[in-house]
Chains A and B, each alone.
Chain A
Amino acid sequence: MMLEVKDDLAQMLLHYRIERFFYGEAALLDDRRYPEWLALFAPDIRYVMPLRTTRTGRDLKHEFGGPKDSAMFDEDHASLDMRVRKFASGTNWAEDPPSRTRHFITNLRVDGETDEGIAVRTAFLVYRNRLERQTEIFAGERQDVLRPHEGGFRIARRRILLDQSTLLTSSLSFFI
C-alpha cells in the first residue's frame, strides 16, 4: 500500500478544525462536564463499543460483535442522557468519588464524506485513576461520523474499537 501524502490546504484546515473539536470534547470529559459533552452528539447518535474476541487469523471476520450481538456500549441519545443523569444523581457510587481521566485523541485520519457526514478515525489513549491507586489505561480506535453544525460539528456516529477482549476494569462507568 502506498501512503500518499498530499499538500492540501483545505484538508489541513479541515484536520485543524476536527482536531480542535476532539480536543474540546476530551476536555469536557476530563473536566466532568457531562451535560455539555452530551450536547456534542446529534439527536440520532448511535454510540457503540462492540465486544471483541480473540480469534485466529483465519477467523478475524468474527473478531468484533455484529449488529445483532451484545456490545460493551450500544447507546442512543436517550440512553446516553440516562448515563449522564446518573452522574448527577448524588448516589453514583461507581464514579463518586469520581475517576480522574485524561483522554488523548491522536492519529487523526479523515476518510471522506458520506451521506451521514464526515467519516473520521482517531486513536485514543484513556488514562483512568480512581480512589487510592486504581489505575487503568485503555487504547483503541474511534470511528466517528461528524456532521457540520453551527460552525462546528456534532457527532452523529461513534464506534469505539477497544484494544482489549477481556475488559481489564471492574466497571465501564466512564466514556470514551
Chain B
Amino acid sequence: MTGENHASARAKARRIFDRDAGTIEASAYVDPEIYQLELDSVFKRCWLFLAHETQIPKAGDFLSTYMGEDPVVVVRQKDGGVKAFLNQCRHRGMRLCRSDAGQARNFSCIYHGWVYDLGGELINVPLEEHAYGKVDHKAWSARAVPRIARYKGLIFGCWDENAPEFTDYLGDAAFYLDILLDRSPAGTEAIGGIHKWVIPCNWKFAAEQFASDSYHAMFAHLSAVAVTIPGGSYAGSDGGDGRQYSSDRGHGTGFMLDAGRRELLSAFVGPEVGRYAMEEGMASAVDRLGHVRGQRMHAQHMTVFPNFSFLPSVNTVRVWHPKGPNEIEVWAWSLVEADASDEVKEAYRVGGLRSFSASGIFEQEDGENWVEIQRVLQSPTARDTLFHVGMGMGKSRKDDPDFPGEVGWIFSEHAARGFYAQWQRLLTEPEAPVIPAAADKEAGHDA
C-alpha cells in the first residue's frame, strides 16, 4: 500500500494519541513525517468526497479537485456515469487540466499534445507512428481513480481498489448523513460556485471540530450570535439538550434536540430558511426520515472521515484539503432541496455565504483559532504538549433507542476520540481493513 518506509512515523502515531487517557500530543498536527504517513495511510485508503452530481450535470462537464494532495479531474461521461483520474499526463507529468471547471470533449496536454478522452484513456499521441512505432494507449492512460461511489447526489472516490463499499464505509453514520441529503423526494442540488480559501492550519483541527465540537460555538462565535440572535445567547447555562455520535470508522456528529430549532436556523441562515425548515421543509423531512431526524434534531455538524464536513439544514458542505501539515484549502459550497421555492433557494444562497464562508460571520472565527493554534505549534515545546480530549469520557453508550451508534451528550469529545482512534489505527496498521473488525471499545467502558 505505502511506497515509503514509515516506521518512525508509525511509532510516533502509536504513542501520540491515548484514547483511554483522553490525550493527544500536539505533534500530531505539525510533524511532517506524520503528515506524509497520513497521505499514504489515510487519504489513499479512505473514501473521499469528489463532487455533487449537479456540479457536473452534462456529458463532458468536469471539475478539478483533490484527493488528499492528489490533483484529480472528475468528469461526467457520455453514458451518464462519472469517472475520475489523476490530473497528470503520463508522458512527462504535466497537469492535464488547468481549469477549475468547464466542459470538455477531451483533455489534451499542452506540453507535447498527448490527448486523453473523458474517461482519462489515452487516445492520441502526436507523431506516434513515426516517433514511437506504437504506444499502448490503454497502459498509458491517466491513472484512474479505481473506485467511484454515488450516494444520494454526492460522488465519492477511493484510491484503494479493495476498499469496502461506500455504504459499509459509512455504516450507521448514513443515518446522520441522510439528514443533509434526503429531506425531500426531489433530492438536493448544489448552489453554483465553490468557495476556496487558505487557512494555515492542520486539516485535523477542522475535521475534528465538525465531528465533535458544539462546545466552541458558545464562545468562539459569540460575536455572530450577538448580532443574529435576539438577546445574544441561545443556550442556557446547562448547555441544553443534544447528542453526539461517534463511529468506529472515525465519523462523528453532534446536534441539538427540540428547543431553539427555528431561532438557531434563522440566526445561521436567515428567517426565510428558518420558516422553510419549520413548514414545508419539515413536512417532507418527517415523512422521509421520521420524527426524530425530521423534526427534533437541529444545529447539526458532521464529519465523514477523514475530511468531508457539513452542517445539515444550514446546508454548507466542505472538504478540508490538506496542503502540508501546516495548511489547508477549504472548499465550501451549499446545497438546497431541489424542490424548494426560488425564494428559499435564494435565502439559502445569501444566508449561507453570509454565515459560512471565508467572509461568513460565523466562520471567520474558526480560521482565527486554527491559524493561531498552528503558529504556536511551530514552537518545539508547544509541539510536545499534551492536549485534553477527555470530555465525556465513558459517558457514551450504544443502546440509545433513537440514535444508532455510540451516542452521548452533545458536549462531549467521544466523537473526537473516535476520529483519532480511527486515524491512529490507519496510521499504525497499514494492511488492516479500513472498517475495524472489533466493536468500538470506549462505549461504557468506564461508565
Contact = CB atoms under 8 A, between A and B. Distances in A.
A90 B194 CA distance: 31
Contact of A89 (B198, B199, B227): B227
B101 A173 contact: no
Contact of B354 (A79, A91, A131, A170): A79
Interface size classification for chain A? 35 or more
A170 B198 contact: yes
B359 A56 contact: no
Contacts of A68: 191-192, 349
Contacts of A82: 227-228, 354, 361
Nearest to B270: A79
A53 B223 contact: no
A91 to B, nearest CB: 4
A59 interface: yes
A83 B361 contact: yes
B148 interface: no
B223 A92 contact: yes
Contacts of B370: 170
Contacts of B196: 165-167
A137 interface: no
Contact of A171 (B334, B349, B359): B359
A139 B400 CA distance: 54
Interface of A is mostly: loop
A16 interface: no
Given A93-B220, A169-B197, A55 B102 contact: yes
Given A70-B192, A166-B329, A170-B198, A54 B100 contact: yes
Contacts of B193: 51, 65, 69-71
A72 B353 contact: yes
Contacts of B352: 70
15 contacts: A51-B193, A51-B194, A54-B99, A55-B100, A55-B101, A70-B191, A70-B333, A70-B353, A73-B353, A74-B353, A94-B365, A170-B371, A171-B358, A172-B359, A172-B364
A-B CB proximity, top 6 nearest: A69-B192, A170-B367, A172-B359, A94-B364, A91-B222, A167-B197
